[in-house]
Amino acid sequence: EAGVTQSPTHLIKTRGQQATLRCSPISGHTSVYWYQQALGLGLQFLLWYDEGEERNRGNFPPRFSGRQFPNYSSELNVNALELEDSALYLCASSREGNLARGNQPQHFGDGTRLSIL
């Protein structure tokens, strides 16, 4: 089966611009998660979408937003880009939202490398 796909692979922006990152989950997966991996900061949870709804968000400002489409693909939007937004943004998907039991693993894409100049 095809894995999680993310686009673009690399994105270069300047401060104040807006960035859009895209993610297609594994077929049959309804939940999509976004994480930020900044240098030295580990993996930080950003957003969780399930069945088109935002279910949870991490400790990030409102200029980080996103949505999930009817085909379960998702996009992450970052407005008013700042230098510290430079990071690898990882998307993951899983079969069902981890509501009943947290035993469904999340499968990750290769990420979008966002660089802010």
Partner 1 sequence: GDSVTQMEGPVTLSEEAFLTINCTYTATGYPSLFWYVQYPGEGLQLLLKATKADDKGSNKGFEATYRKETTSFHLEKGSVQVSDSAVYFCALSPLYNQGGKLIFGQGTELSVKP
Binding residues for partner 1, per CB under 8 A? 4, 6, 31, 33, 42-43, 45, 48, 50, 55-56, 58, 90, 92, 97-111
For the CB of residue 93, give the shortest distance to partner 1 in the complex, in Å.
11
Looking at the Cβ atoms of 78 and 94, the one nearer to partner 1 is: 94
Helix (H), strand (E), coil (C) string for the chain? CCCCEEECCEEEECCCCCEEEEEECCCCCCEEEEEEEECCCEEEEEEEEECCEEEEECCCCCCEEEEECCCCCEEEEECCCCHHHCEEEEEEEECCCCCCCCCCCCEECCCEEEEEC
For the CB of residue 42, give the shortest distance to partner 1 in the complex, in Å.
5
